[in-house]
Amino acid sequence: MIMQVTLVKRRRHILNTALRETVVTGVLAMVLAVPFLGLKATNAGIGLKLETRWSMAALAVGLAMIGRILLVLWRERRHKPLPIGRMMTSLSNFLPERSLFWIGGAGTLFAFLLPVLFPSRYVVDTATTLLIYVMLGWGLNIVVGLAGLLDLGYVAFYAVGAYSYALLSTQFGWSFWLCLPVAGLLAAAFGILLGFPVLRLRGDYLAIVTLGFGEIIRVVLTNWSEVTNGSQGIAGISRPSFFGLPFVPEGTASSSLSFSEF
């Protein structure tokens, strides 16, 4: 009898916890999904037109709530609390190495099939931007998480590489495959030059100096209009190609043979 009462109380506790955390997750997901997914600005002649996509926002909120429910149920089945520190570590603490291999392979295959499954330019551009920020997060994890250096100007090196690529492409006519490694080397060179005097500092002093360097880069790139075109940015950057064959959709008008036609 006592065991049945305990089991009922435990199930009630799991249900209340799942409902409470799911509602909180749904509200937070809605706050993020409505402006980022539910609203879209499109070009309407001389101005912008705001379109609504409530179905996509609702889908994102629903997936977030379902994921939270599954996480709560999995956590309660462990019969012990899951520390927040372990939740923020890598998946290798939860899954065997064999499973990680298959998950990585499936993710790589999905990345290659994404343009075929979702030919919309919006989906491809969003996925590209997402992966760019993922790579920035990896680098920041190395600098702050592993090295323990509070670098508040980390994104400045990304800006140096991005503008280096844009200037080399537009001013010198270099191809994508030549601009990409050169831009990375220039960004790394700026990091090395800044690292010599700055890495002697620790704590708040390092954060202040790197924050100042990031602001210097932003101000220079914004106000040097003759070179960077100011806040308008640099347009007309050449697209990637495959051995000289441009990546354009099949049937699109092109002056040269495209990769899809090849």
What amino acid is encoded at 175 in this protein?
S
Rounded to whole angstroms, what are the CA distances from 180 to 44, 154, 190, 229?
34, 19, 16, 21
Tokens read off for 149:
């250096």
* The pLDDT of residue 117: 80
> pLDDT digits over 105-144, tens only?
888 888 888 877 877 777 888 888 888 888 888 888 888 8
Angle between helices 97-117 and 121-140 (to 10 degrees): 150
pLDDT grade for 147, boundaries at 50, 70 and 90: confident
CA distance 233 to 219: 13
CA distance 178 to 169: 9
pTM of the model: 0.64
179 pLDDT above the threshold of 60 = yes
14 pLDDT above the threshold of 80 = no
The rounded mean pLDDT for the chain is 78
79 pLDDT above the threshold of 60 = no
Contact by Cβ (8 Å): 36, 47: no
Domain assignments of the chain as residue spans, ordered by start: 1-82, 149-241
Listed in sequence order, the residues at least 6 apart from 159 whose beta carbon sits closer than 8 Å to its beta carbon are 217, 218, 221
> pLDDT digits over 184-229, tens only?
999 889 888 888 887 777 778 888 888 888 888 889 888 888 888 8
Q: Which among 246, 238, 234, 240 is positioned nearest to 162, based on CA atoms?
A: 234
* The pLDDT of residue 28: 92
Question: What's the burial of 134, exposed, middle or buried (CB within 10 Å: 0-12/13-18/19+)?
Answer: exposed
CA distance 200 to 196: 8
For residue 28, the surrounding DSSP H or E stretch is: helix 2-33
Q: What is the DSSP string of 32-63?
A: HHIIIIIEEEEEETTEEEEEE-HHHHHHHHHH
Backbone CA torsion sign across 210, 159, 29, 75: negative
